Amino acid sequence: MAIHFQRIIPAKQILRRILPSLESTNVPKGHVPVYVGETQKKIFVIPISYLKHPSFQNLLSKAEEEFGFDHPLGGLTIPCREEAFIDLTCSLNSS
């Protein structure tokens, strides 16, 4: 089983850019805030461990394709339906 690190490095780059701008937000240690939605964005706070999961990596790839590393809201923005994101995080939480 091969481990792919190319997607983890961009996630770390994103975190370095957004965490200083979110210092005033109460985010627990080991978590990261993300904006989710296709048109209206809602903020979710997720464990950093989700970033390495293959399903979440697919969302990060879509975010990279759409926004690059210049996210309009200043934080990590995931361009997917809110319901799909909730389904994914629930499945990651139960595994």
Query: What tokens appear for 24 in the block?
Result: 């005033």
13 compared with 63, residue with greater pLDDT: 63
pLDDT at 1: 47
Residue 27: pLDDT band (50, 70, 90) is confident
Is the confidence at residue 72, as pLDDT, over 80? no
Please count the helices (runs of H) and the strands (runs of E) in the chain.
Answer: 3, 3
pLDDT at 38: 79
pTM to 2 decimal places = 0.65
CB atoms < 10 A from the CB of 54, how many? 8
User: What is the residue whose two structure tokens read 């690190």?
Assistant: 5
Contacts by 46-53, CB closer than 8 A, 24 or more apart: 46/89, 48/15, 50/89, 50/92, 51/8, 51/11, 52/8, 52/11, 53/92
